[in-house]
Structures are given as C-alpha cells and as structure tokens.
C-alpha cells in the first residue's frame, strides 16, 4: 500500500498493523453479524485453525461504534489466559476491515447445544452454571461486565463438549 493511500485511512486500532492475509489463509464463513462476519482462518506458519471476526469499518458509523471495537480488543487481551474465555491471537486492520483472530470454537453456541441435546441432568446443569458463574466472577474481578448474557453468546470449543472442567 502506498504512503499516499495510508494517509487517508482511519485506523480504528490506532495504528497500522500487519496484513492479516499475509499471516492467515481465510476459509469458509462461520457466522454473520450486524457489522461483520466470522471466518475460519489458518495460520500460515503453523497450520493452526482460528476464527477471524472481520468487522466492516464502513459500518462503524459513530465514535461509540469505533470505541466499542477498540474496547472489545482491549477486553479480549485483558482476559487472555482464562480457561473458559476465548483467547485472542491478534487484531489486525486494513483499509476496509478490523480483523480479530481468536481461538476457534467449533462446537457452536450453548443455545444450539441445548436444543440439539434436549434435556440435561441436574448434575450437568449445575456444572454448567458453576462454569458460567465462575467466568462472570472472573470478568467482574478484572473490571469487565458482560452486558448480554444469553446461551447464544456462550461458545463451545468442541461439538461434543459436555461442559466438564477436567484437565
């Protein structure tokens, strides 16, 4: 990209980053949101699969929208390392998108899992509740409040995830 083109680009992340497509190969679309899409991506150097949330910058209408994306990246870095919170690999930006590369959660949403499995035992429900409350407690202890707690916003790493915490 030439210097002249760069001078006209607004950087949501506050600075120019590496080109995500130099580091990752993009695959199929995993999901669609209001301001972007999530894709399977594979790290070129390792072959490890990740998810990449690509946010369309043109849909970031207000200053608050831009701040929300910045805050999302900051929060993901802040919570990095918790067993039950998706790990961020990196954040990248080009002239059209902000790309957030993160751990792949191939198991789908908790909501889909509940619908697919139907009933669960009281023991499993208690175990799941303990995990969710523990994640919320961790977030709160680090000054982060999740404002949209619902089964659709909890992702499972594996399709056959039974919510067990065993290491």
In 3D space, the residue among 65, 63, 71 whose CA is nearest the CA of residue 88 turns out to be 71
Question: Is residue 148 annotated as part of the catalytic site, yes or no?
Answer: yes
- Among candidate residues 68, 94, 112, 148, the one labeled active-site is 148
CA distances for 125 relative to 13, 32, 122, 157, angstroms? 39, 29, 5, 18
Task: Dig out the tokens for 146 from the structure.
Answer: 């999740």
Count Cα atoms within 13 angstroms, Cβ side, for 93.
Answer: 18
- Give me the active site residues, please: 148
């Amino acid at each position: 990209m030439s210097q002249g083109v760069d001078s006209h680009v607004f950087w949501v992340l506050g600075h120019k980053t590496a080109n995500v497509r130099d580091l990752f190969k993009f695959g199929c679309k995993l999901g669609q949101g209001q301001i972007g899409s999530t894709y399977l991506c594979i790290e070129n150097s390792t072959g490890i699969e990740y998810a990449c949330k690509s946010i369309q910058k043109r849909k970031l209408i207000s200053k608050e929208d831009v701040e929300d994306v910045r805050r999302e990246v900051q929060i993901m870095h802040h919570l990095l390392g918790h067993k039950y919170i998706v790990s961020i690999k990196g954040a990248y930006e080009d002239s059209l998108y902000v790309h957030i590369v993160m751990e792949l959660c191939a198991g789908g949403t908790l909501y889909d899992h509940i619908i697919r499995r139907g009933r669960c035992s009281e023991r499993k429900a208690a175990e799941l509740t303990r995990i969710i409350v523990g994640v919320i407690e961790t977030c709160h202890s680090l000054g982060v409040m999740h404002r949209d707690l619902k089964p659709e916003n909890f992702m499972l790493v594996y399709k056959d995830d039974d919510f067990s915490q065993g290491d």
